[in-house]
Structure 1
Amino acid sequence: MAATRPVGPTVAEQPAPAKRRNENARLAVLNAADDLLVERGFDGLTIEGIAARAGVAKQTIYRWWKSKVDILYDNLVLDAEDALAWPEPAPGASYTVAELRGYLHRFALFLGTAPAGRVLQALLGHAQLDRRTFDLLHTGFLGELTARDTERVRQCLAGLVPGAGGQDGAGAGAAEASALLDALLAPLYYRALLARGPIDPALVDAALDEQLALALARSTPGV
């Protein structure tokens, strides 16, 4: 992982030297956790190993995180801020199918090949056995991501399918968008979690085209 990940205060805040050293240590811990997860897997990842790789004391790690799950979760959130961002539409414009297509391709790369994808896969697996991890992941990261993406998809449908957008994300528009998002992401999760390899971009395009055709058919009278 590159050592330029933005963590902590911005340059404009001009942190004191001691604060800057703390943030350097925090960044080292996050990077070490990512590297060790790829090398050793979730079970082989330990606080002791992270501390040794990062060159910090265990007490330093426990000052910021309760467990390795919390470290991985912070990594996931930080990486997703850029990797899973949507471009801002022009003022007064809504999101388009082209932007949805681009997002799905970025999501496939994130989930199938990026180190952050390995973090998400590890947390999803552990969440099946640990209730705290389940709540942290689904109430936090995945819940917020799904809510945001459902609204983006609703806007895409509103511009493509007459009457599919609903009003303010409520009613049938939000339900249609949620169902479409599930149908688009399900094969990506399946390939990443079970096939454990890169996701073919052609699969992304085929799934989107098929689901949009179905949405159009449902909205056309007499079809």
Structure 2
Amino acid sequence: MVTEHRPGSSRRSERSRQAILGATRALIAEVGYAKLSIEAIASRAGVGKQTIYRWWPSKGAVVFDAILALSEQSPGEPVALPDTGDLEADLKQVVRATVAEFSDPAFDAPIRALTTELVHDAELAALYEKRVAAPVDEAKKERLRSAQRAGQLRADADLDLVLDLLYAPVFRRWLLRTGPLTAEFADAVVEATVRAFSPAAG
């Protein structure tokens, strides 16, 4: 059977998809992940539940796509960090972008709600690790490996530890609201981390 595609149907589908993702972000900020339901998302977005289930198999899948849609990176799209040959400059660009993202109210509310749920929901945490954290961390490690090959980072550096030192201060300041998230703070974290793992420090 040939499926008929009416003019404008793809535009309507994309409008519905964006409405669903926007409704999901708004609701997770208002009620949290645990109380979020497909019914509530559908009602807020003005679509039927069947529309949501046609595109996503579960509530968790909708939430992840809603949060991933906040960035320019599309779900499943390969992740790559800048590699200009200057490790410190490249890391400053990336960590500054992270700081700016955490400072954006549109990003802060849904991520803060999701982070709370990750602490209590092992299944959700595993999904997050698989779909978000692992691919991004691997891209970061590949940039660090490039720096090792170029002699800008110690060859024996523990790359997991390097990432922890780069991002833990940013995450802690954001999560606990212990201080301002600024470009200057991002630069200071990068400088301290690169200095700690430079060949000269070894």
After TM superposition, the score normalised by the length of structure 2 is 0.78
Structure 2 residue aligned with 1:138: 129
Q: Is the 8 A contact 1:191 1:199 kept in 2?
A: yes
Alignment RMSD, CA only?
3.1
C-alpha spacing 1:15/1:130, structure 2 compared with 1 (3 Å): farther
Q: Map 1:30-49; keep pairs closer than 5 Å.
A: 30-49=21-40
Q: Is the 8 A contact 2:42 2:48 kept in 1?
A: yes
Any idea what the Cα deviations from partners look like across 1:163-219, whole Å, max 9, x if unmatched?
x3x5xxxxx3xx533321210100111122222885233321221111222223xx2
Matched to 1:17, the amino acid is G
Q: Is the 8 A contact 2:96 2:186 kept in 1?
A: yes
Structure-1 separation of matches of 2:44 and 2:122: 29
1:80 aligned residue (44, 48, 71): 71
CA drift at 1:72: 1.4
Structure 2 residue aligned with 1:192: 174
Structure 2 residue aligned with 1:161: 152
Q: Map 1:120-135; keep pairs closer than 5 Å.
A: 120-135=111-126
Q: Is the 8 A contact 2:81 2:143 kept in 1?
A: no
Structure 2 residue aligned with 1:8: none
Matched to 2:166, the amino acid is L
Structure-2 separation of matches of 1:29 and 1:197: 34
Structure 1 residue aligned with 2:46: 55
Q: Is the 8 A contact 1:96 1:159 kept in 2?
A: no
Structure-2 separation of matches of 1:35 and 1:105: 26
Any idea what the Cα deviations from partners look like across 1:95-133, whole Å, max 9, x if unmatched?
632121011010112234353344333333222222321
- 1:104 and 2:95 are equivalent in the alignment: yes
Stretches of 4+ moved more than 6 A in 1? none
Structure-2 separation of matches of 1:157 and 1:15: 54
Structure-1 separation of matches of 2:178 and 2:32: 13
Structure-2 separation of matches of 1:60 and 1:43: 22
Structure-2 separation of matches of 1:15 and 1:196: 53
C-alpha spacing 1:98/1:220, structure 2 compared with 1 (3 Å): closer
C-alpha spacing 1:43/1:108, structure 2 compared with 1 (3 Å): same
Range with bigger deviation, 40-49 or 63-72? 40-49
C-alpha spacing 1:159/1:125, structure 2 compared with 1 (3 Å): same
Structure-1 separation of matches of 2:194 and 2:81: 21
- 1:208 and 2:202 are equivalent in the alignment: no
Provide the secondary structure at the position in 1 that maps to 2:71: helix
In structure 2, stretches of 5+ residues that fail to align are: none
